[in-house]
Amino acid sequence: MTAALRRAWDRLSLYLPVLLMGLLALATWWLVRNAPQPQEQRAPAAPRHEPDYQMNGFSVRSFAADGRLQSEVQGQTARHYPDTDTLEIDQVRIRSAGQAGRAVQATADRALSNADGSEVQLFGNAVVVREAAPGQPRLEFRGEFLHAWPNEERVRSHLPVTLIRGGSRFTAESMEYDNLAQVLQLRGHVRGVLAPGR
């Protein structure tokens, strides 16, 4: 029996590597079939234009290095949009001090400001006022849209505007004003009423 067993073992040992390879192939096939599928690479979702925080009845002040108040922004409601890093403000009131220290005020139904407040778009009943100074009368801009750069002391609009300077009043279809360069450009159909000089 031992000789027969030995012959059977010899024959089996000849086919054992082939049997083991078959079992390994079968086990590999089973693992591949039952393994979880890799997840498809998805492009990152574009950020949605939704606010990440909101403030109600707020007032934000910024100060210069010497402690002087530089600007103050007040509003009924403000919403921050992270995709554009902008702040949308309802019933906005802005007060800032220009380079010469003169107060500039702005109000509107709605405003859209960049992150640092250096660019503000005013929508609906927009008014920007530069207070009077020695030798310069009060200056006021009114319109449905005004685009202001407070740090650069510039105001622009592509829509009809009204300019009131002291007792004089002008209307135009669009305008651009640069206080630092002392340049005002009124475009389109311009009408004006000049107050008599003193």
Each residue's pLDDT, cut to its tens digit, for the chain (198 residues) gives 688 878 877 777 777 777 788 888 888 888 888 888 777 777 777 777 788 889 999 888 888 788 877 788 899 999 998 888 889 999 999 888 766 667 888 999 999 988 877 889 999 999 998 888 787 888 899 999 999 887 788 899 999 999 998 888 999 999 999 888 888 899 999 998 888 765
Distances (CA, A) of 189 to 53, 91, 127, 155: 43, 30, 21, 19
Domain-wise residue ranges, the chain: 1-33, 53-193
Under 8 Å CB-to-CB from 137, ≥6 apart: which residues?
A: 165, 166, 167
Question: How far is residue 146's CA from residue 111's CA, in Å, rounded to a whole number?
Answer: 10
Question: How far is residue 152's CA from residue 119's CA, in Å, rounded to a whole number?
Answer: 9
Q: Which two tokens stand for residue 9?
A: 């073992």
At residue 59, the 3 state secondary structure works out as strand
53-193 has which CATH code? 2.60.450.10
Stated pTM of the model:
0.71
Q: How many residues does the chain have?
A: 198
